[in-house]
A and B are shown apart, each in its own frame.
Chain A
Amino acid sequence: MLNIDKCAYSNKLINVHPMEKFIFIIVTIIVCLSSNSVITPVFILFSVSLLTIFAARTPFRFYIKLMLIPFSFLLLGVITILVEIKISPAITFSITPQSIDTASKLFLRALGSSSCLYFFSLTTPLIDITAILKKTKCPEIIIELISLIYRLIFILIDITGRIHTSQSSRLGYSSLENQYRSLSQLISSMFVLSYKKAHDLFVSLESRCYNGNINVLEKHYRLSAKNIMFIVFLECVFIVLEFTL
C-alpha cells in the first residue's frame, strides 16, 4: 500500500547523507517557487526527475503514476485561474494573455516543486527524516510521536487491508448502501483495534523501561564532497538560468 515507503528503502541513493538531499530539495523548491520564468521550473522538473529515475532507480511507471496523483487538483486550480469571469454587465468567461501567463507559470512551478518533493520522499526513509528533524531542534515530543505513529501505521494498514478483503469477499461493497455500512464498520473496528494496538505498544515499551525517549542507533552517513559539489553546481545552474532567461 505504501509504495513510496518501499521505494525509499530500496533506492540507489539510500546511502547518500539525508542532510544533503534535504538541503538540495529545499533550495531547489525555493528557487522553483520564486522563479518567474518558464524555463527554470521546466529545467528543474526534468533534471530532478532524471535524478529520481536514473540515479535513484525509481521505476518509471511508478514515478509517472505519482506525478498524476495531484493532477486533478492541479488542473482544477489552473483552469480556475485561467478562466476570468466578468459579472457585470453580463456574465462572460474569458481567457486573457495575462491569465494564460499566470496559469502556465503556476502549472510548471507546481510540477517542478512536486518533482523535488518526490525526489526527497522516494530516496529518504522516514527514519532518516526524523534524524534530520532532530538536528533542526524540532521539539522532542513531535519526533517521538512521528516515530511511534510511523510504527503503528503499518500494523493498522495490514489489519485494515485484511478486514477490507473479508468484507468485500462477503459482498460488503456491492451496493452504495452496503458501501456505507461496511466502510463505517471498518473504520469503527479500526478505531477500536488501533486503540488496542497502541495500548499494547505502550505496555511493551513501558515494560522495557520506557521513559519518554527511544534511543536507537542511527545509521552513520558520510558527507561526500562530490555530492555537495554536484548540488552547488546544479543550484548555480538553476539560478543562472533564472536570471539569464
Chain B
Amino acid sequence: MDKALKLTFTYYTAIILAVSEPAHAMHIMEGFLPFNWALIWIVASLPFIVYGVIKINRLVKVNPRLKMLLVLAGAFMFVLSALKLPSITGSSSHPTGIGLGGILFGPLVMSVLGMIVLLFQALLLAHGGITTIGANVFAMGIIGPIIVTIVYKCAKKLHCPLPINVFLATFFGNLFVYTTTSLQLALAFPATEGGIRVSFLKFLGIFGITQIPLGISEAIITVLIFNFLTSYKACDLHELRIIPKDENKELDCSC
C-alpha cells in the first residue's frame, strides 16, 4: 500500500470511530455471525426461553399481578440501556442492566425478558440484530444473570455487606457476558494459526479495553442505585426478591 492510501485509510477510520457511537454493551451486530452460528446460538438459548415461558405462565396463573412486574422489568431494562454511563475513558456507553436485573428479578425471568428487551433494542435502537439475537440472548439473558445470581448468593452466604455484594455480582456478570461474547465470536472466526484459542484471546484483548472499565463503571452505578433504593423503597425490593420463591404470596403494593 502506498503512503497516501494508507493515510486516507487511517483518516477515514479515525473519522468513523469519532462519529459513530463507541462500543455498546457488546451486542453482536446484525450479520456479524455466519448463518450456521446464528442458528446454533438460537437453538442453544431456546430451551432456556421455553422453560422461562412455561415457568412464567405458571407463576402468572397463580398471581396475575406478576405480569405487571414483568412488564415493569422489561420496560425498565430497555430504558436503562438507552441511558449513557458516565465515562472514565472518554467514550460514551450504555449500562446493560444485567447486574440490576439479575439481582432484582432472577435468571429465570431474565431469559425471556432479555430476549424481549434485545428484540426492542435491535428494532428501536439499532443495537444488536435479529439473526444474532440467539447469541446475544445466550450471553446477556442467560449466562450474565446466572453468574450474577451465583455471585450474589455466594457473597450473601459469606456475609458480605450489600454494596460489596452488588458490586461483585454486577462486575462478574458483565465480565462473563463479555467473555461469552468473545468466545462466541472466536468460535465463529477461529484464527488461521492457533485456531479458536488465539482468536478468543484476540477478541478478549481488543474488547477488554472498553468492556472492563465499563464493567467497573456499571458496578459502581448499580451499588449507588441499590443504596438509593434500599434507603427509600426497601419494601418494594423485598417484594421483588420474594417473587421467584413464594408463588402464592399476594403482593401488597400499598407501600
Residue ranges of A at the interface with B (Cβ–Cβ < 8 Å): 1-2, 4-5, 29-30, 32-34, 66, 68-77, 79-81, 83-87, 96, 98-99, 102, 106, 109-114, 116-118, 120-121, 126, 129, 139, 141-142, 144-146, 148-150, 152-153, 156-157, 160, 173, 176, 179-181, 183-192, 194-195, 197-199, 201-202, 212
Closest to A99 in B: B192
Complex CA gap A38/B35 in Å reads: 16
Which residues B1-52 have CB closer than 8 A to chain A?
A: 13, 16-17, 19-24, 26-35, 38
B71 & A2 in contact (Cβ 8 Å cutoff): no
Residues of A within 8 A of B71 (CB): 145, 148-149, 152, 198, 201-202
Instruction: Verify if B154 is at the interface (C-beta below 8 Å from A).
Output: no
Inter-subunit contact B228/A72 (CB<8 Å): no
- Residues of B near A180 (CB, < 8 A) are 86, 220-221, 224
Q: Evaluate contact between A117 and B125: CB separation under 8 angstroms.
A: no
B60 at the interface (CB under 8 A from A): yes
Interface residues of chain B: helix, strand, loop or mixed (majority): helix
* Minimum CB–CB distance for B83 against chain A, Å: 7
B191 at the interface (CB under 8 A from A): yes
A188 near B23 (CB under 8 angstroms)? no
Are the C-beta atoms of A142 and B131 separated by less than 8 Å?
no
Say yes or no: B76 contacts A190, CB within 8 Å: yes
Interface pair A183/B86, CB less than 8 Å apart: yes
Known A145-B70, A180-B220, A180-B224: A71·B112 in contact at CB below 8 Å: no
Q: A183-B85, A191-B229, A198-B68 are in contact. Are A85 and B130 (CB under 8 A)?
A: no
> A113 — which chain B residues lie within 8 A by C-beta?
30-31, 129, 131
**Residues from chain B with Cβ under 8 Å of A33 in the complex:** 31, 33-35, 38, 131
Chain A residues with Cβ below 8 Å from B199 are 80-81
B119 smallest CB distance to A (angstroms) = 7
**Pick from A2, A70, A80, A142: contact of B112, CB under 8 Å:** A142
Contacts of B99-116 to chain A: CB distance below 8 A? 100, 112-113, 115-116
